[in-house]
Amino acid sequence: MAPMGIRLSPLGVAVFCLLGLGVIYHLYAGVISSRIAAFTSKRTVNLRDLLALSVEAAVQGGREVKRVREEDKLEEKTKGKTMEGQSEKLTQGDLNSHRKMYYLIKNTYPYVQVNSEEHDETNNELAVWNRDIPADILKSVEGGRDVPADSITIWIDPLDATQEYTAWALVGHGSNMKARTTYNMNPPKVIVSRSHAGRVKGFIEEAFGNTTVILPAGGAGYKVLALLDPLDEDIEKADMYIHVTFIKKWDICAGNALLTALGGHMTTLKGEEIDYSGAAGNREGLLASVKVDHQDLVAKLPAWDSAGKH
């Protein structure tokens, strides 16, 4: 799936938007340095506007993915391998979606930092946001909040994925998703990455017992949706999400913000908040849950280090 993240500082308010056709958009915002930053930069961004812009950018990016798929012009290439040794694919859908999302944001807020998984030297996208704010966002988010532009970082991961769904959330204001009413921990269903399901099996069973149900799946965004009350009944339900190897921040930032908005948690395997500043990778694994005692789950996990050994 494909996240885009916006960060104001390591802690604070999370803003998030997750839009269909395999495009995930996420905005992650904090407030620790807002007042200090305001003195150093008069440029500000309204979080409600940024959320609405993200929805529109994701829609435009999704249309490109759909168009390329329907025209059968994927032009698939291999751009490298994951740490698990699997090929990372790049299609024309990835690039076109990246261009639509990246330049719509940069043309609207040229002074905001935007990081994308894909890189492209094309600079001929002239798209300009029409400043329309969807009705559900207007209803849930009154007025928004202005924050310093130089405290925002945006992460984008356009991906030609097969899952189609729509979700957004702004911590403290609302979401069009909701948590399920019940979760089972005796034993739990744990969703994991398909690429290393065998490797994580022993880790999970040591923590929660050998009757634990392990659900391998693709897409970090899909795994987060499996913890919620799904818009799509085809999404299998899980009680927690565990990942024990290196993962890119653009893969997880969207789900992190959505869970936070719904009262859930996504942390490292040591129970620490994931820092969305700096390098693109998270090497500390992750545990995601909602409506359960998250720190109690952390306490049950076996010892683990960043080399993936436990």
Is there a binding annotation on residue 251? yes
Residue 157 marked ligand-binding: yes
Sequence-distant (6+) residues with CB within 8 A of 224 are 241, 254, 255, 258, 259, 266, 288
Is 117 annotated to bind a ligand? Reply is: yes
Bind-site residues: 117, 157, 159-160, 251
Bind-site residues for Mg(2+): 117, 157, 159-160, 251
